[in-house]
Structure 1
Amino acid sequence: MEGLKVSNANLTVYLHPSKSRDASEAILRELSSLLFTFSEALDGVVLAYDINSLDNKAAKILSGVIPYFGVPLSVDLLLFSPKPDMLLEGKVVKLSQESIHVVVLGFSSAIITEKDIREEFVYKIKHEQDVYASKSHKRHVIKVGTMIRFSVKR
């Protein structure tokens, strides 16, 4: 699937002095706080990380009211960063006459509006279930639970 990329990043993690006794655990906790949140600096959602190098001896104390210290590290990050015109796959979780709601990678939601649904699909209610049925292929339907591939608009 497009939208996934591995990026090598050189980061500095800033820790409170009370965390100096177990700095590696504190660093893992800080990196874990990045998971499944969008980061503008990284231009994507961090899905996983792998620490390549950690240099505790290169830690520098910052001057200020509370003397935090910065630990430089090199990390491989798995990022989800969809761009326009990329193809993504997702599972349909809701259908309505105006839109199709999709979950991508189990955490990110997307909405395909009525104007972006191909004209060959018509909204119908079959057996008390909402579906988008193809006009040209009778057995081609989109319903809740269907995996679909779609193009990112924005």
Structure 2
Amino acid sequence: MDGLKVSKANLTVYLHPSKSIDVSEAILRELSSLLFTFSEVLDGVVLAYDINSLNNKNAKILSGVIPYFGVPLSVDLLLFSPKPHMLLEGKVVKLSQESIHVVVLGFSSAVITEKDIREEFVYKTKHEQDIYASKSHKRHVIKVGTMIRFSVKSFDEEILHIYGSLMPDHTGSIHWLEKHSDLISHTDRNAKKRESEGELTTLKQDSIDGKLSPLDTAQKMKKSKKQKIQEES
């Protein structure tokens, strides 16, 4: 899944003098306070940490009314930082005709609204259960409890809420996608082929309409270079 990364960081934890009796325990508490909150400095939500080194001997006392002291440490951080167009995975917890609600990594909520669900999926009620079923592949079904893969549209850092999309062809039920990965790859190749053919048609049409296309420009430059060589010889 996209959006997860391990970051190595050199931090300085500032502690109250009353914590000097057990510095290690105090540092663990400070790091734990970062969990499942978004950090602008780290550009992500801290999910876990692992301390590599801790140097109490290099602790520095800060001058002030209360002399806090800073302890430098090196730590590995597991961060969750979803960006637009990344692919995330989550479990469907609620489904209606207007939206699909998902939980990602057990803590972050996501919503996919009707306008961001591709036309292939049709909302229906089957055996008193709401589902989204594919018109192209009858076994491709999304319902409550389904693990799905979706694309990120945006991420609200304050409430850790994700706005997602099921518009790309390679999104939907993970169980179905993994069983039919060859079919998805073939679909993607056909889409790219159609896009390439469309660009070629545009170039030809520009030439017919009397416009200077990139292909015409390249050919004229080639002819001009050849003519120049012949004149010099």
- Assess same fold via TM > 0.5: yes
Measure the CA separation in 1 of the matches of 2:73 and 2:140: 50
Measure the CA separation in 2 of the matches of 1:111 and 1:69: 44
Secondary structure of the residue aligned to 2:119 is: coil
Secondary structure of the residue aligned to 1:24 is: helix
Measure the CA separation in 2 of the matches of 1:96 and 1:63: 58
Measure the CA separation in 2 of the matches of 1:17 and 1:146: 51
- Looking at CA atoms only, which structure, 1 or 2, has the larger radius of gyration? 2
Residues 1-27 of structure 1: CA deviation (Å, up to 9, x unaligned): 111100001111010000000000000
Return 5+ residue gaps in structure 2 as ranges: 153-231
Once the two structures are TM-superposed, the CA of residue 139 in structure 1 deviates from its matched residue by 2.1
Once the two structures are TM-superposed, the CA of residue 140 in structure 1 deviates from its matched residue by 1.6
**Is residue 79 from structure 1 mapped to residue 79 from structure 2 by the alignment?**
yes
Scaled by the length of structure 2, what TM-score is found?
0.64
What is the aligned-residue identity percentage? 92
Scaled by the length of structure 1, what TM-score is found?
0.96
Once the two structures are TM-superposed, the CA of residue 46 in structure 1 deviates from its matched residue by 0.7
Return 5+ residue gaps in structure 1 as ranges: none
Measure the CA separation in 1 of the matches of 2:110 and 2:63: 44
Residues 43-88 of structure 1: CA deviation (Å, up to 9, x unaligned): 1111111111111111111111111111011100010111111111
Higher relative contact order (CA 8 A, sep 6+): 1
Instruction: Count matched residues.
Output: 154
Q: Structure 1: which 4+ aligned runs deviate by more than 3 Å?
A: none
Structure with the bigger percentage of strand:
1
Measure the CA separation in 2 of the matches of 1:140 and 1:79: 32
Structure with the bigger percentage of helix:
2
Once the two structures are TM-superposed, the CA of residue 101 in structure 1 deviates from its matched residue by 0.6
Measure the CA separation in 1 of the matches of 2:107 and 2:118: 25
Once the two structures are TM-superposed, the CA of residue 151 in structure 1 deviates from its matched residue by 0.8
Measure the CA separation in 1 of the matches of 2:17 and 2:4: 36
